Amino acid sequence: MKYNIKNILLIHGFGDKENYQNIYINLYKALKLAIVKNALKSHAQLPPTRVLAKDIGVSRSTVIKAYDLLVLEKYVNTKVGSGYYVNSSKSKKLQTPIGAKFELGDYPKISKRGLAFKSNIQIINNYKSNTGIAFRPGLPPLDIFPVSQWKNLVNNYWKTVKASELSYSHTTGINSLKKNISNYLKIYRNIDCDPNQVVITTGSLHSLSLIGDALIDKNDEVVIENPTYPYAYNLFNSLKSKICPAPIDKEGMELKNLKVFNPKIIYTTPSNQYPTGVKMSLERRLELVKWASSKNAIIVEDDYDHEFSNWENPISSIYSLDKQERVVYLGTFNKLLHPSLRLGYMIVPHYLLDTVTALYQQSSRFVNPASQKILSAFIEKDYLNKHIRHVLEVSLERKSVFLDSFSNHLEEYIDINNKNSGLHIIGHLDKNINDQKLSDFLKTKGITTHPYSLYFIEGKKRNGLIMGYSSVNNKTIKETIFKMKNEVDNFKN
């Protein structure tokens, strides 16, 4: 019986070439559906691969791959020298059509922890935008990243890499990078640590997750700054710990009302409190170390952007003030170089190393060794030091342009109290303006901001917009703030 294969394929979904790289999958699915629905009858011979390729305008290899999948799943039989034939056992069967929707209840129930993460992350992700980088917080000046230097290091790595280096790597990181990071911290943060204490991770959140898993059991108390980094709150909340919010004053985390708690972990961002930008005073740091010791607690010091917040008046890290090995120090290169790098580190007390390593092995095993080697070479060749200086220079210039433009156009609506909060600025809003609604509105206009109120755990939540400036060039900063002024006018009216 004769049939028009082109029409059959079109009727059954073939022809959408938007995803041309997977066109053979498109062809395979159309043929499979035609067989299931009996449009291609039992024992029907499929067109020869060359003929079908010519008829539908694809390469012969595309048709061969589609046919091979059908043979593999026994929808089609192949006979040497004769061609491909529809398998009679597959035709006429009522199978679930491709892409059909399943009824709710066909799947296992999602865990409470999974649902909690999903709910909180969806709220945060709602304020991220792919429409542009003005003014998304958390981004360094990506346009000045030394791509050519990095590319040369990548090429050199793959020219010289040994076969043995492509095997499984050590969980906590390669030795050369651990040593270079310990030297780097000695210079920038006056931190003395054993390179063996350095654990390479994908970033601060990965580090925090490992520490949380290593220490927290259900109902253990965790002190967290309020406001705070939302992902940190989500993590500790998912571990069913008791969250003890610590207010922020002009010296950093307030301790006076925390004495009644017995925390296992105290999570803090002392160099540049996130998101307020408050620098914890030396006196408060010493008080925190003493209090942690009295409570037998571990301090997790997240020093996520110390390069940008400590350059004027550097204060000793909490890690360097501690003499009892009860501080876990977190750092990241994702904020300094670029977020897609996915390389961070932590300094872990000796007593926790084996536990953290075991948890690491059970999850992601290790960070890509090639990336580690390349970053290590980047540090050794002094490219990192030069890049830090360049980033500081560019960021300070962009901050100045941002603040000047803001003063000229938005000062009547939005108040800036702290102008030294790292790579972002918080603009405080009148209490009658809903920051979440304003942020939603600005997003529709191509302007990304984060609502300040979402960063509070409890108590009085302040309205404001968190805006990153360092990843935006001067011209775009001026244009976007002028546009933002008009859009805020429209929102208020």
Q: Looking at residue 461, what DSSP letter applies?
A: P
How far apart, in Å, are the Cα atoms of 434 and each of 26, 277, 426, 437, 470? 47, 22, 15, 5, 26
How far apart, in Å, are the Cα atoms of 111 and each of 38, 118, 123? 41, 10, 19
pLDDT at 15: 65
Give the 3-state DSSP-derived string for 289-325, with helices as H, strands as E and coil as C: HHHHHHCCCEEEEECCCHHHHCCCCCCCCHHHHCCCC
Residue 185 Ramachandran class (φ > 0 left, ψ -120 to 50 alpha, else beta): alpha
pLDDT at 115: 80
Instruction: For residue 327, list its beta bridge partners.
Output: 299
d(CA 54, CA 48): 10
- Answer yes or no: CATH 1.10.10.10 is held by domain 5-86: yes
pLDDT below 50 — which residues of the chain? Answer: 17-20, 93-96, 98, 102, 104
d(CA 184, CA 186): 5
Residue intervals of the chain classified under CATH 3.90.1150.10 are 117-139+386-492
Question: Domain 168-381's class?
Answer: alpha beta
d(CA 381, CA 376): 9
pLDDT in tens, 394-423: 999 999 999 999 999 999 999 998 888 889
Question: What is the amino acid identity at position 1?
Answer: M
pLDDT at 114: 84
How far apart, in Å, are the Cα atoms of 343 and each of 58, 305, 368? 42, 14, 9
pLDDT at 12: 74
Q: Give 118's Cβ-side CA count (13 Å radius).
A: 6
Question: What is the amino acid identity at position 283?
Answer: E
Instruction: Report the candidate in 374, 332, 370, 380 with the shortest Cα–Cα distance to residue 200.
Output: 332
**DSSP E strand stretches across 196-270:** 198-201, 221-226, 242-249, 252-253, 265-268
d(CA 272, CA 279): 5
How far apart, in Å, are the Cα atoms of 53 and each of 1, 20, 337, 472, 475? 21, 14, 47, 48, 51
pLDDT at 459: 80
Residue 203 Ramachandran class (φ > 0 left, ψ -120 to 50 alpha, else beta): left
- Answer yes or no: CATH 3.90.1150.10 is held by domain 117-139+386-492: yes
Q: Looking at residue 427, what DSSP letter applies?
A: E
Residue intervals of the chain classified under CATH 1.10.10.10 are 5-86
pLDDT at 36: 86
Rg (CA), the chain: 29
pLDDT at 259: 87
Instruction: Report the candidate in 177, 174, 165 with the shortest Cα–Cα distance to residue 379.
Output: 177
Write down the pTM of the prediction: 0.78
Q: Looking at residue 341, what DSSP letter applies?
A: G
pLDDT at 94: 41
pLDDT, mean over the chain: 90
